[in-house]
């Protein structure tokens, strides 16, 4: 039975991400809370992407080998020991929501794995997702919306 859950104290599932966590604000990642991580999990993966981007799927953040004991990822912090992968901007950091027009969906996808991953920090979303099959014990998703003010 799947029981893992991902939440944020600054927006609810399907709600709008506050401006301060976008390119229109400070641009730090929102705080995240992790619930119900399976006891047998050896590591966690977080993928944040935007399927509404004009050029196709846009990766905003990749984190893997997050300690499964993690219960919160605070704004502006990367969990100790976690690896950040290459985002669509070509950097290994959080890329804040910054849609050119319209309302975009930002998918925060959390995976509990049965092992740590051996991936170089140059890995992109497709590389990270290719390493997941057969390793996922549970997963959770949090969707936030953002639309830039005109």
Cα 39 from Cα 105, distance rounded (Å): 30
Residue-level pLDDT at 148: 85
Q: How many domains does the chain have?
A: 1
Residue-level pLDDT at 149: 76
Q: pTM of the predicted model, to two decimals? A: 0.96
Cα 68 from Cα 46, distance rounded (Å): 12
Give pLDDT tens digits along the chain (150 positions).
579 999 999 999 999 999 999 999 999 999 999 999 999 999 999 999 999 999 899 999 999 999 999 999 999 899 999 999 999 999 999 999 999 999 999 999 999 999 999 999 999 999 999 999 999 999 999 999 999 876
Which range marks the domain in which residue 82 is found? 5-147
Q: Which CATH number characterizes residue 70's domain?
A: 3.90.280.10
Cα 149 from Cα 147, distance rounded (Å): 7
Residue-level pLDDT at 45: 98
């Amino acid at each position: 039975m799947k029981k893992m859950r991902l939440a944020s104290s600054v927006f609810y599932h399907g709600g709008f991400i506050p401006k301060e966590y976008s390119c229109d604000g400070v641009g730090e990642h929102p705080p995240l809370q992790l619930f119900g991580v399976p006891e047998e999990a050896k590591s966690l993966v977080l993928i944040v992407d935007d399927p509404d981007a004009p050029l196709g799927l846009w990766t905003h953040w990749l984190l893997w080998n997050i300690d499964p004991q993690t219960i919160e990822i605070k704004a502006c912090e990367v969990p100790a020991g976690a690896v950040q992968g290459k985002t669509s901007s070509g950097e290994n950091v959080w890329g804040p929501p910054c849609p050119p027009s319209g309302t975009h969906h930002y998918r925060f996808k959390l995976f509990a794995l049965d092992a740590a991953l051996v991936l170089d920090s140059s890995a992109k979303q497709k590389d990270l997702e290719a390493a997941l099959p057969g390793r996922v014990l549970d997963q959770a998703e949090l969707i936030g919306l953002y639309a830039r003010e005109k």
